[in-house]
Amino acid sequence: MRKWIHRALKGASLTTALFIFQACYGTPPGPAQDVLEQDNATELIEETVAEEEPAAEETEQIVAE
Amino acid sequence: MIGRLLHRAFRANETAVHELNYLFWECTTRCNLHCRHCGSDCFAASRDVDMPLEDFLRAFDTIPAEGRAKPFTVVLTGGEPLLRPDITEVGRALRSRGVSWGMVSNGWFYDEAMHRKLMDAGMGTLTISLDGLAESHDWMRGHPGSYARAERAIALAAAEGPRLAFDVVTCVNKRNFNELEALYARMKELGVPQWRIFTVIPIGRAADDPDMQLSDAEFTALMDFIAAKRAGPSQRAAGNYFPCSSSENQFPLRPSQRPHATGEARPMKVTFSCEGYLGRYEKQVRDVPYFCHAGVNIASVLIDGRICACPNIDRDVFSQGIIYQDNFYQVWEERFAPFRDRRWTRKGRCADCKVWRDCLGNGMHNWHGDCASVLNCHYAKIKG
Q: Beta strands B321-322 and B306-308: pairing type?
A: antiparallel
Average pLDDT over residues B138-144: 88
Is A9 in CB contact (< 8 Å) with chain B? Answer: yes
Helices B216-230 and B180-190 cross at an angle (nearest 10°) of 30
Nearest to A28 by CA among B132, B195, B167, B293: B167
Contact assignment for B100 to A28 by CB distance below 8 Å: no
- Closest partner CB to A27 (pick from B92, B98, B103): B103
Quote the CA–CA distance of B373 and B336 in Å, as a whole number.
Answer: 20
Identify the pLDDT of residue B209.
Answer: 82
What percent of chain B lies above the pLDDT cut of 90? 73
Average pLDDT over residues B301-325: 96
Quote the CA–CA distance of A51 and A47 in Å, as a whole number.
Answer: 6
Nearest to B76 by CA among A22, A45, A28, A26: A26
Provide, as residue numbers in chain B, all residues whose Cβ is less than 8 Å from the Cβ of A28.
Answer: 125, 127, 165-167, 194, 196
Is A10 in CB contact (< 8 Å) with chain B? Answer: no
- Closest partner CB to B17 (pick from A6, A23, A27): A6
* Structure confidence by residue, pLDDT tens digits, B152-178: 999 999 999 888 999 999 999 999 999
- Enter the DSSP assignment of B294: B
Quote the CA–CA distance of B36 and B170 in Å, as a whole number.
Answer: 13
Q: Maximum Cα–Cα distance for chain B, whole Å?
A: 59
Picking from A3, A19, A24 by the largest number of B CB atoms within 10 A of its own CB, the best residue to mutate is A24
ipTM: 0.77
Quote the CA–CA distance of B327 and B199 in Å, as a whole number.
Answer: 35
* Per-residue pLDDT band at B31 (split at 50, 70, 90): confident
* Per-residue pLDDT band at B234 (split at 50, 70, 90): low
- Closest partner CB to B127 (pick from A27, A42, A45): A27
Identify the pLDDT of residue B71.
Answer: 80
Is A16 in CB contact (< 8 Å) with chain B? Answer: no
CB of B292 closer than 8 Å to CB of B274: yes
B298-331 core/surface letters (b: 16 or more CB in 10 A; e: else): bbbbbbebbbbbbbbbbbeebbbbbbeebebbeb
CB < 8 Å from B in window 20-59 of A: 20-33, 35-36, 41-42, 44-45, 48
Quote the CA–CA distance of B186 and B151 in Å, as a whole number.
Answer: 10
* Per-residue pLDDT band at A36 (split at 50, 70, 90): low
